[in-house]
A and B are shown apart, each in its own frame.
Chain A
Amino acid sequence: MSDRLYVATRKGLFTLERGSGGAPWRICRTAFLGDQVTMVLPDTRDNHVYAAIGHGHFGTKLHVSADGGMNWEERTAPAYPEPPAGAPEDRCPVRQIPIPWRLEYIWALEAGGADQPGLVWCGTLPGGLFTSRDRGASWELVRPLWDRPERKKWFGGGMDYPGLHSIVVDPRDSRRVTVAVSCGGVWVTTDGGESWNCRADGMRAAYAPPEHAYDPAIQDPHRLVACPARPETMWVQHHNGVFRSTDGATSWHEITEVPPSTFGFAVAVHPRQPDTAWLVPAIKDERRIPVDGKVVVVRTRDGGRSFEVLTQGLPQEHAYDIVLRHCLDVDRSGDRLAFGSSTGSLWTSDDQGDSWRTVSSNLPPIYCVRFAR
């Protein structure tokens, strides 16, 4: 099991470790204290760690550590090119505001395949996907996706602009990459990013007029994950439901019976058992608080046909923790989980969620929780 956990928060990056024999998790290192760390990527290919910093005034920055997070160096942040001269301005179809060609926020960082040392993918607001082939020293906007005409349909969910938040690299074929956009559907490339197709057939947008509800390019997948051992099995926690694909995102099946709610942001899948997944439900748009003030994790072991509600060790009264999309993770063993909340609570489990321990209730708002695998 992984004994190191990175927790990115509104006020810094926290590295937690635990000793042997069931010793408790302890914060062993802090970085970027006071700064908003919007994403962290521990890259096990070479022990590098990437951290995205969102400065309110000074823009979005990228820092890289070559020693597992001990020392950090600022690298070049992804940069959007100039829009084509004379091209009409991109406008959000919902808010009718201009969509800038400007880096607003780093919302996803993922390592390329084992056969692509130094290659890193980066998802951003306002929706651009970038690649770096030199560990963040330089970045290139993936134009074939950015230039797709369907992008004109994309819009922001909770944010003003669309955001690309999930990137799944197929461990069998690094050229096959699946990404998810809020709100812009799920997109797949099989040629390393040269061409893309929207793959959200079967998803349903309850927030859209009926005639647009099944438009793949306006879906709001809150989080996309795939089972590493069976990458064709994918799970999506969507704005208005839970969806699963067993054919590599070609088609999606809605799972409607999730207690206590089908709304949430986060989803995690077991590394070897594609039918085992975890969700953290909440009350949807109207309130965005846990149902009945109880923090629960739900687990399925049968592909979503049934769910267990896991509560042992979690607060069951007057708890208002919301778990954002990158804040639930499972380690490579499939036994150890961690999740963190927007109100600064962090819990871990060593038994697939049967029981939980509170690591802290006093962290800053948590944006990302990731095991060093």
Chain B
Amino acid sequence: MVRVSFTANLQRHVACPPRTVEGCTVREALAAVFAENTRAAGYVLDEHGALRRHMIVFVNGEAIQDRATLSDPVADGAEVYVMQALSGG
């Protein structure tokens, strides 16, 4: 099982409580969350399923590498954080 948490800043627009889901990759874990929260998906991913430009996903503290297809693996017990990438000054 994988625990997925979202930035508090997203909660103002769409409720995204932490979820514990099944999944072997970031894509699978997020898909499991978004299956029950379809509106949230559009805030994190673009229309092609890629991570939005100013968003970032950490798996156990490490930023994912594959922002286009989210193929980074997640091990059982992993912590996935969906955050805003700091941009601008």
Which A residues are within 8 Å of any B CB, using their own CB? 55-59, 61, 74, 77, 79-80, 82, 101-103
Contacts and interface: CB of A to CB of B under 8 A. Distances in A.
A57 B52 contact: yes
B86 to A, nearest CB: 10
Interface stretch (B25-33, B43-51, B57-65, B72-80): B43-51
A59 B10 contact: no
B54 A57 contact: yes
B21 interface: no
Contacts of B47: 79-80, 102-103
A102 B39 CA distance: 18
B48 A74 contact: no
The interface centre, meaning the residue of A59, A101, A102, A103 with most chain B CB atoms within 10 A of its CB, is A59
Nearest to B44: A58
A51 to B, nearest CB: 14
Given A57-B55, A58-B55, A59-B46, 19 more contacts: A56-B54, A58-B10, A58-B13, A58-B43, A58-B44, A59-B42, A59-B43, A59-B52, A61-B42, A74-B39, A77-B42, A79-B47, A80-B47, A80-B48, A82-B48, A101-B48, A102-B46, A103-B46, A103-B47
Interface pairs A-B: 9 shortest CB-CB? A79-B47, A58-B43, A57-B54, A57-B84, A102-B46, A59-B52, A80-B47, A57-B55, A59-B42
Interface in B3-20: 9-10, 13
A55 B48 contact: no
B18 to A, nearest CB: 18
Contacts of A55: 13, 43
A58 B40 CA distance: 9
Contacts of B9: 57
Contacts of A61: 13, 42
Nearest to A101: B48
Contacts of A56: 54, 87
A280 B86 CA distance: 37
Nearest to A59: B52
Nearest to B39: A74
B33 to A, nearest CB: 15
The interface centre, meaning the residue of B48, B84, B85 with most chain A CB atoms within 10 A of its CB, is B48
29 contacts: A55-B43, A56-B54, A56-B87, A57-B9, A57-B52, A57-B54, A57-B55, A57-B84, A57-B85, A58-B13, A58-B42, A58-B52, A58-B55, A59-B42, A59-B43, A59-B46, A61-B13, A61-B42, A74-B39, A77-B42, A79-B47, A80-B47, A80-B48, A82-B48, A101-B48, A102-B46, A102-B48, A103-B46, A103-B47
